[in-house]
Amino acid sequence: MKTPTISVVIPARNEQESIAACLDTVVAQQPHEVIVVDGGSEDATVATVRKSASQHTGVICVEAERGRAAQQNRGAALASGEVLLFLHADCELPPDGLSQVCDVVRRGA
């Protein structure tokens, strides 16, 4: 089985303190795309994501209504990867995080 494409969806709201580190750990693993869905941040979250998007292809920032479910649904609707990985904005992926996800998908687990 070929390696599946992964769309990483990150709902965020007022995450300026953590979103850059989160994005750094994700983009380093070259996913198919990274969709950050902002739920009305009042801080520099959106500016931080847009800066990352200007430096890395496949990173986008979109807006949605406030609320994790609305944000996740918006990101899922936009995603084009074969696998969706939802990640909290204050999380950091381990260096082999996406390859572990791919391994699980390939095994059918």
Q: What is the CATH number of the domain that holds 83?
A: 3.90.550.10
Residue 69, domain extent:
6-107
For the chain, how many structural domains are there in total?
1
Structural domain contains residue 1:
no
Structural domain contains residue 15:
yes
> Rounded to two decimals, what is the model's pTM?
0.95
Structural domain contains residue 71:
yes
Residue 12 sits at φ, ψ, to 5 deg, of -145, 150
Counting every residue written for the chain, the total comes to 109
Per-residue model confidence (pLDDT) at position 1? 67
Is residue 62 within 8 A of residue 38, CB to CB? The reply is yes
Per-residue model confidence (pLDDT) at position 68? 96
Could you read off the pLDDT tens digit of each residue along the chain, which spans 109 residues? Answer: 688 999 999 999 999 999 999 999 999 999 999 999 999 999 999 999 999 999 999 999 999 999 999 999 999 999 999 999 999 999 999 999 999 999 999 998 6
Of 58, 61, 54, nearest to 12 by C-alpha is 61
Q: What share of the chain is helix, strand, coil (3-state, %, to 5)?
A: 40, 20, 40
Per-residue model confidence (pLDDT) at position 20? 98
Per-residue model confidence (pLDDT) at position 86? 98
Structural domain contains residue 44:
yes
Per-residue model confidence (pLDDT) at position 18? 98
